[in-house]
Structure 1
């Protein structure tokens, strides 16, 4: 199963897809899982498909050896002439985000490593935070501090902070990818919870009932970010290099 460890030095790519119906989510999961099951790309390490629970969509959490391997995949004829057209047809929004893992911290009950797996019962929340590139490092450092006070929040399991490098979408011409925004203009937070109910209770708690630590965190975050988007997911399918290729 895939693990998240900043010391591994992997390039982590989060392919975020939104669509307009639950039926199309089923199609997205099916198409993404087919790609995962036959993946045999140089430098590819693992892929884990996540199904959107809060709003319709999917996310593929992909680990690569490095940027050159990812670019080779993007330049592959099959990717350009099959994968891109398929996902253009069934999505309303696509963002392919390249990241480096900066920190990954867990509740003490979870051991020494963050695991990403459909065999677990995690409710996974992914936040994409827009930021001025000049403030990105400050936001990364600040987001990592949340772990200290989240330890007291019922249902909290883990929190991984990823520094965004570059985003693309499928809007380029001739089956190419288009750049979204500028380099280093986002941060991603990948957190795991005991269930949707636990996360909803945390997210909807009245600000008057927040701890002092949470209030201070929220004020500082608000001063650094330019936008925020989130969805809740369940990991539903995974495969790593070395696992058998589907036939």
Structure 2
């Protein structure tokens, strides 16, 4: 199964598709499964498909050997004349995000490894933050190293901070947080905790993030399909 690590060995691509109806989400998932199961692109390592939970949409977490390999895929006739038009018919937005993994953290019992797989029961949250170029590194730190207090939060499993490099569908710089939780109840309890019940460390970090971000959005997901090169 794919593993997320801040080792600098891969280009990590996160493709986010939103739509406006559950039946369109099912069409998206079927199309993505077909593409993933037939993938044989040079430099492609793995793809993991996520199904939107709070709002209709999908996410595909993809590992590539390099930016050059990914750009060859984007330049191909299949991608330009079949894949993009197909997704364009059933989505309300398409965001193709190229990233490098800047930080990972896991509960100690996970042995320092973040795995993504449909065989796991992770409740996955993907948060997207806009940021000014001059503030991107500060935001990466605020969302990563400065949130070790998450280890004490009930239901928390892992979180990964991705430094945005370039994108289609987004203007300007961005940072992504990919986190895993025991379930919806655990995450909702954390997210909706009253201000006066939050620790001082949490409030300090959240104030810092609020000052640095220019916009923010999120959705929750369940991993439904994965495949790696050679399977």
TM exceeding 0.5: yes
Deviation track 1:87-142 (CA, whole Å, cap 9, x = no partner) reads 00000011100000011110001112110111000000000000001100111111
Give runs of aligned pairs for residues 121-132 of structure 1, distance below 5 A.
121-132=121-132
Is residue 228 from structure 1 mapped to residue 216 from structure 2 by the alignment?
A: yes
Show CA shifts across 1:145-179 (max 9, x none): 3541111111000010000011103xxxxxxxxxx
d(CA) in 2 for partners of 1:50 and 1:79?
20
Alpha-carbon distance between aligned partners in 2 of 1:218 and 1:104, rounded to the nearest angstrom: 18
Counterpart of 1:29 in structure 2 is 29
Residue in 2 that maps onto 1:175: none
- The match for 2:171 among 163, 171, 181 is 181
Tell me, which stretches of 5 or more residues in structure 2 are unaligned? none
Contact 2:43-2:69 within 8 A present in 1 as well:
yes
The two structures, once aligned, show a CA RMSD in angstroms of 0.9
Q: Compute the TM-score of the two structures, normalised by the length of structure 2.
A: 0.98
**Distance between the aligned counterparts of 1:19 and 1:224, measured in 2?**
29
In 1, Cα distance between equivalents of 2:88 and 2:48: 21
For 1:165, the equivalent position in structure 2 comes to 165
Alignment match of 1:198 (pick from 181, 186, 195): 186
CA separation in 1, counterparts of 2:167 and 2:67? Answer: 13
After TM superposition, where is structure 1 displaced by more than 6 Å over at least 4 residues in a row?
Answer: none
Residue 173 of structure 1 aligns with which residue? none
CA distance in 2, matches of 1:167, 1:20: 22
1:81-230 equivalent positions in 2, closer than 5 A: 81-169=81-169, 180-182=170-172, 185-230=173-218
Distance in 2, Cα, partners of 1:110 & 1:218: 26
* Inter-partner Cα distance in structure 1 for 2:218 and 2:185: 16
List gaps (5 residues or longer) in structure 1. Answer: 170-179
Instruction: Give the match's secondary structure for 2:7.
Output: helix
Count of matched residue positions in the alignment of Structure 1 and Structure 2 = 231
C-alpha distance in 1 between matches for 2:186 and 2:7: 30
C-alpha distance in 2 between matches for 1:230 and 1:29: 19
* Contact 2:107/2:157 (8 A) holds in 1: yes
Q: Tell me what 1:78 maps to.
A: 78
